[in-house]
Amino acid sequence: NAGVTQTPKFQVLKTGQSMTLQCAQDMNHNSMYWYRQDPGMGLRLIYYSASEGTTDKGEVPNGYNVSRLNKREFSLRLESAAPSQTSVYFCASSDTAQGIIQYFGAGTRLSVL
């Protein structure tokens, strides 16, 4: 009964370092999402994947890349981290691109120094 699992939970990077955030869901959902959450702001969509093999940019894609590895897994990569990418990152999934986003991961708190 894991739902959406994200790793790691916390990460500290230096400016210019790279890292990959991992997300996996076990609900056989087709669509997966990456959001970032900053203080005083709502969740903002970074990238989404409507189905396996497809990815599209969201509201704030600059500085990020994604990979939909298979139906279960959707990773987010920061190639050269910047302090502006300090945020909490949430992965989410829904059964379809028109479906209800009911399940979020527990979040990754990222600090870029």
The minimum distance between CB 24 and other proteins, in angstroms, equals 15
Cβ within 8 Å of residue 53, ≥6 positions away? 68
- Give the amino acid at 47: Y
Distances (CA, A) of 85 to 1, 16, 23, 75, 96: 31, 11, 18, 16, 28
The minimum distance between CB 112 and other proteins, in angstroms, equals 20
Binding site for other proteins (CB under 8 A): 31, 33, 40-45, 48, 50, 58, 90, 94, 97-98, 100-102, 104-107
CB closer to other proteins out of 17 and 61:
61
CB closer to other proteins out of 17 and 109:
109
- Can you tell me the distance from the alpha carbon of 102 to that of 94, in angstroms, rounded to the nearest whole number? 7
- Can you tell me the distance from the alpha carbon of 101 to that of 84, in angstroms, rounded to the nearest whole number? 26
The minimum distance between CB 16 and other proteins, in angstroms, equals 28
CB closer to other proteins out of 64 and 90:
90
